[in-house]
C-alpha cells in the first residue's frame, strides 16, 4: 500500500473510532479520561462491584466472599482512588459470596448508607454486618423496587428489584437469589445493569412488570456468576448488552460460567469478559462512550 494512502487511512481511523460508541479494550497502562469508573473486582467465586465518580462519590455493590477479599482487593482500590467514604454500601442478598467482605469494608472505610432487601437469613456474616451498621450509626435503607439514589451529580441508581411479596422456592421458603437487589446505573446515555444472583424465575417476574425497556443496558454484570439458571433468552433480549462481564472463580466447582450462558450472550452480540480470565475489569464512561481496561490477559 502506498505511504500516502496509509496516512489517509490512519487519519480516518482516528476520526471514526471516538465516534463509534463501542468498547475499546486497553490491556494495562493508564486509565483513559473518564467521569465514572465501574470496577468488577476479581474476588474469585463471588461478586463485588465498585463505582467511583469524578466528583469523588463512591458506591460498593456486594463485597466478595471474605474479609480477605475486602482487605486485599476492594479497600485498596478505593484508597488508591482517594476515596475516604462510601456513599452507599449495597448488599444484593445475604449469601456468603456477596456479604463475606462487608464487615471488613465497614471497619475499613466510612459508610454513609447501607441498603439491602432485608431477606430472612441466619448467615453469621450478614448478622455481623447488621450489628456493625447499627453500632456505627450507618443509615439503613430497605433496597426495593421504585427507589432511586443519586450518586453525585452524574450517576442515578435505580433499584428495579425486589418487591414484596418476596418470591419463594417450591418449599415455600423465601428465595435469596430471586429477591436480589437489582441495580440499574445511569451515567448520561451509558447504562449498567447489576442483577445480583437473579435466576430465571426472578427474571420473569421482573420482565412481567411491563416495560422491558427499563432493563436495557449496554453493560451487563452477568447474573449468578454465569449460571445456566440465569441469563435467560427473554431477559437478555430485553437487556441487549453490548458488554457482558462474568464474575467467577478460576476452576470453580460449579463450572461457572456455563457454556449455555456464554452462547446466549454471544447470540445477542455481547463482548465477553471474565474475572477468572481477565482479572478485575474496569469500565470507564464519559456518559456517551466507554472504554474497558483489564487486569491481565492478552489484548483482543
Residue 61 inside a domain? The answer is yes
Domain that holds residue 219: 20-294
How do residues 208-227 score in pLDDT, each as one tens digit? Answer: 997 888 999 999 999 999 99
Residue 164 inside a domain? The answer is yes
Q: In this predicted structure, what is the pLDDT of residue 20?
A: 36
How do residues 227-270 score in pLDDT, each as one tens digit? Answer: 999 999 999 999 999 999 999 999 999 999 999 999 999 999 99
Mean pLDDT across the chain: 90
Distance from C-alpha of 297 to C-alpha of 44, rounded to nearest angstrom = 16
CATH of residue 49? 3.60.15.10
Residue 35 inside a domain? The answer is yes
Residue 3 inside a domain? The answer is no
Residue 127 inside a domain? The answer is yes
How do residues 52-61 score in pLDDT, each as one tens digit? Answer: 999 999 999 9
Q: Is the pLDDT of residue 9 over 60?
A: no
Note the pTM of the prediction, 2 decimals: 0.88
Q: Looking at the 3D structure of the chain, how many domains does it have?
A: 1
Residue 131 inside a domain? The answer is yes
Residue 8 inside a domain? The answer is no
Q: In this predicted structure, what is the pLDDT of residue 71?
A: 98
Residue 90 inside a domain? The answer is yes
Amino acid at each position: 500500500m502506498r505511504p500516502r494512502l496509509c496516512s489517509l487511512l490512519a487519519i480516518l481511523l482516528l476520526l471514526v473510532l471516538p465516534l463509534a460508541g463501542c468498547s475499546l479494550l486497553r490491556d494495562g497502562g493508564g486509565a483513559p479520561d473518564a467521569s465514572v469508573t465501574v470496577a468488577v473486582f476479581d474476588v474469585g467465586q463471588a461478586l463485588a462491584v465498585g463505582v467511583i465518580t469524578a466528583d469523588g462519590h463512591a458506591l460498593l455493590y456486594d463485597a466478595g466472599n471474605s474479609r480477605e477479599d475486602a482487605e486485599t482487593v476492594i479497600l485498596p482500590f478505593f484508597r488508591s482512588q482517594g476515596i475516604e467514604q462510601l456513599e452507599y454500601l449495597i448488599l444484593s442478598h445475604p449469601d456468603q459470596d456477596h456479604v463475606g467482605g462487608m464487615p471488613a469494608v465497614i471497619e475499613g472505610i466510612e459508610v454513609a448508607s447501607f441498603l439491602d432487601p432485608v431477606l430472612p437469613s441466619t448467615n453469621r456474616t450478614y448478622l455481623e454486618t447488621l450489628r456493625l451498621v447499627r453500632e456505627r450509626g450507618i443509615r439503613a435503607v430497605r433496597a426495593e423496587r421504585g427507589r432511586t439514589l443519586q450518586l453525585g451529580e452524574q450517576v442515578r441508581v435505580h433499584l428495579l428489584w425486589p418487591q414484596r411479596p418476596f418470591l419463594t422456592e417450591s418449599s415455600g421458603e423465601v428465595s435469596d437469589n430471586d429477591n436480589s437487589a437489582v441495580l440499574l446505573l445511569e451515567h448520561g446515555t451509558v447504562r449498567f445493569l447489576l442483577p445480583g444472583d437473579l435466576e430465571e424465575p426472578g427474571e420473569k417476574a421482573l420482565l412481567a412488570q411491563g416495560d422491558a425497556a427499563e432493563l436495557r443496558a449496554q453493560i451487563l454484570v452477568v447474573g449468578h456468576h454465569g449460571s445456566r439458571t440465569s441469563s435467560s433468552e427473554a431477559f437478555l433480549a430485553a437487556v441487549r448488552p453490548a458488554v457482558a462481564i462474568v464474575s467467577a472463580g478460576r476452576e470453580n466447582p460449579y463450572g461457572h460460567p456455563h457454556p449455555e450462558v456464554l452462547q446466549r450472550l454471544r447470540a445477542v452480540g455481547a463482548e465477553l469478559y471474565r474475572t477468572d480470565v481477565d482479572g478485575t475489569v474496569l469500565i470507564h464512561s464519559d456518559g456517551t462512550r466507554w472504554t474497558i481496561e483489564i487486569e491481565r490477559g492478552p489484548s483482543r
